[in-house]
Amino acid sequence: MTFPTSFEWVGLNTFAPATQKKLLELLRRLKEKNVNKLTILVMGKCGVGKSSTVNSIIGERASEGLGPVMVSCSVSGFTLNIIDTPGLVNGGHINDQALEIIKHSLLNKTIDILLYVDRLDTYRMDKLDELVMGAITDRFGKEIWNMALIVLTHAQFSPQDGLPYDEFVLQKSEALLKALRQGARLKEEDDTMASSIPFVLVENSGRCNKNEKGEEVLPNGTAWTPNLLQTITEVAMRAYKSIYVDKNLIEQPDCNQRGKILILFVFALECLFVIKPIKEAIKNDIARELVLASMHIYIFALK
């Protein structure tokens, strides 16, 4: 991972004055809760706008690189660390190598918030979405979804067939939650966890209209930058324990690996207690048949 030194949050000055005021108020609320630092892990598929979202949060272009990149900035005694990561899909399959690189790069770091990024303007959910969410769960545990928010990018978007904007957003959100429940294998008792994950709409292109305060607004009238910052703050203030990435977490095999080991174990047991006895029985039957055949030949010869 690239480790830049923490720099003054100069990108804050690119926000509209109302957004700057809102952000400083949010930071004050965090510091009142003795939260002086936040580390946000950004994950998702390729091409969904992870790096652009990181740049939007800090107000400047800073997230670049093929591997995990940490951007760190400070203001008024508060430090924000955002870890951008490569896409988790390669050639239509889960990129296990990227996941292992991400996990190892987080050694001795504490993850306070997971930003799971997807696109609003995609109509179809498929099995791959479940696999991505399942892969994250396998590496970090289902508890990571307690500290998650889902960011939907490309939100300056008009749904087809005249479907109302808010209704399309609701359908997309419900589809993602369904994929999460199935991919992360959440049980009924975990349903509160899934249903409490907030969704935030983001448009990183700068194509949005602006309100009277100079803030970019989406088709539903939401000023998305202060809304994103406020939602991050609300998730950070939840009473859930952050995830510390220690050596044990890194070295533990993921569920897929454990599944492979279990399959090998079951196969070994089958070989020992099923296949081997069957082979012995077949071998004995063949030997018996040969003896009987030899006796028949001998008797026939005597005649």
Provide the pLDDT confidence category of residue 37 given band limits of 50, 70 and 90: very high
pTM of the model: 0.82
Q: What is the pLDDT of residues 69-108, one digit of tens each?
A: 999 999 989 999 999 999 999 888 999 999 999 999 999 9
Q: Which of 157-161, 177-181, 271-275 is predicted with the least confidence, judged by mean pLDDT?
A: 271-275
Q: What angle do CA 128, 134, 138 make, to 5 degrees?
A: 145
Q: What angle do CA 126, 132, 137 make, to 5 degrees?
A: 135
Tokens of 207: 């194509």
Q: Is 243 exposed, middle or buried (0-12, 13-18, 19+ CB in 10 A)?
A: buried
Q: How far is CA 47 from the centre of its chain?
A: 14
- Taking all residues of the chain, what is their mean pLDDT, rounded to a whole number? 85
186-214 in b/e burial notation, b at 16+ Cβ within 10 A? beeebeebbeebebbbbbbeeebeeeeee
From residue 204, alpha-carbon distances to 16, 45, 48, 102 in Å are 15, 17, 11, 24
Provide the pLDDT for residue 254. 56
Provide the pLDDT for residue 265. 45
> How many CB atoms are located within 10 Å of the residue 216 CB?
23
Strand partners, 44: 117
Out of 10-19, 277-286, 292-301, the most confident range is: 10-19
Is the pLDDT at 197 greater than 90, yes or no?
yes
